[in-house]
């Protein structure tokens, strides 16, 4: 039987270095960009190599969300509450093995809920949006959001200049988690996936 993919928080210097190097390589190959590193990174390992990542940004410790800095819109008209200590941002969501994208997003949502986050922000192209919708996630588009191009780092600019422009969305972190729970648990039951203790997958 194939070795299981192991998903855990990249919470040491070595793990973080490996995960962020994977993100940089993958984004360079796919988008020709080098995105800024996330505050928190969760990664999937297979045979000792990183094969997927899920990044999380929060407003904790006086920080701001990357998307909060790049887009302007009327937060009072946002589709979900903009409560700073309850907000987080999904990003750096990449995988090089099949059936791993959903479990990475599930792991990120479990972790975010554990640290008190309820509302998630994300951006993606229509192609990625269609793929994510097939996972059963309910997205709420942030109407009227305007990208401030001058705020985009030069190393990340090509992502926003692609033919398919990204759009800004909000989600319920708990809804994302539960939409992905069943298919993720099936992979665990079949011995294809394991989680580190840093990922609280049993909470509901």
Which comes out higher in pLDDT, residue 198 or 163? 198
Q: Identify the pLDDT of residue 1.
A: 54
Q: What is the pLDDT of residue 203?
A: 61
Please report the pLDDT score of residue 116 as a whole number.
96
Average pLDDT over residues 36-49: 95
Say what the pLDDT of residue 204 is: 52
Domains in the chain and their CATH numbers? 5-195 (3.40.630.30)
Asked whether 82 and 115 are in contact (CB, 8 A), the reply is no
Higher-pLDDT residue of 108 and 35 is 108
pLDDT at 62 > cutoff 90: no
Q: How confident is the model at residue 72 (pLDDT cuts 50, 70, 90)?
A: very high
Buried b (16+ CB within 10 A) or exposed e, 96-125: beeebbbbbbbbbbbbbbeeebbbbbbbbe
- Amino acid 196: pLDDT: 93
In the predicted structure, residue 92 carries a pLDDT above the cut 80: yes
Mean pLDDT, the chain, as a whole number?
Answer: 93
Of 2 and 154, the structure prediction assigns the larger pLDDT to 154
Rounded-to-integer distance, Cα 122 and Cα 170, Å: 6
pLDDT band at 202 (very low <50, low <70, confident <90, very high): confident
Q: What is the pLDDT of residues 128-166, one digit of tens each?
A: 888 888 899 999 999 999 999 999 999 999 888 888 889
- H or E segment to which residue 66 belongs: helix 66-70
Q: What pTM value is reported for the model?
A: 0.93
Dump pLDDT digits (tens) for 166-193. Answer: 999 999 999 999 999 999 999 999 999 9
Which is higher by pLDDT, 162 or 45? 45
């Amino acid at each position: 039987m194939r070795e299981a993919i192991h998903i855990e928080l990249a919470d040491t210097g070595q793990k973080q270095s490996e995960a962020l190097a994977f993100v940089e390589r993958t984004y360079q190959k796919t988008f020709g960009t080098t995105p800024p590193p996330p505050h928190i990174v969760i990664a999937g390992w297979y045979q000792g190599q990183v094969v997927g990542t899920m990044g999380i940004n929060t407003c904790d410790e006086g920080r701001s969300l990357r998307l909060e800095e790049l887009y302007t819109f009327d937060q009072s008209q946002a589709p979900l509450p903009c409560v700073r200590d309850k907000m987080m941002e999904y990003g750096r969501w990449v995988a090089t093995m099949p059936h791993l994208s959903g479990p990475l997003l599930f792991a990120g949502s479990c972790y975010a809920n554990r640290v008190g986050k309820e509302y998630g922000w994300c951006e993606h192209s229509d192609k990625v949006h269609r793929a994510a919708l097939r996972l059963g996630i309910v997205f709420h588009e942030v109407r009227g959001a305007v990208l401030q191009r001058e705020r985009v780092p030069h190393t990340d600019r090509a992502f926003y200049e692609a033919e398919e422009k990204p759009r800004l969305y909000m989600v319920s972190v708990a809804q994302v988690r539960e939409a992905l729970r069943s298919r993720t648990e099936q992979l665990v039951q079949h011995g294809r996936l394991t989680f580190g203790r840093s990922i609280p997958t049993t909470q509901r």
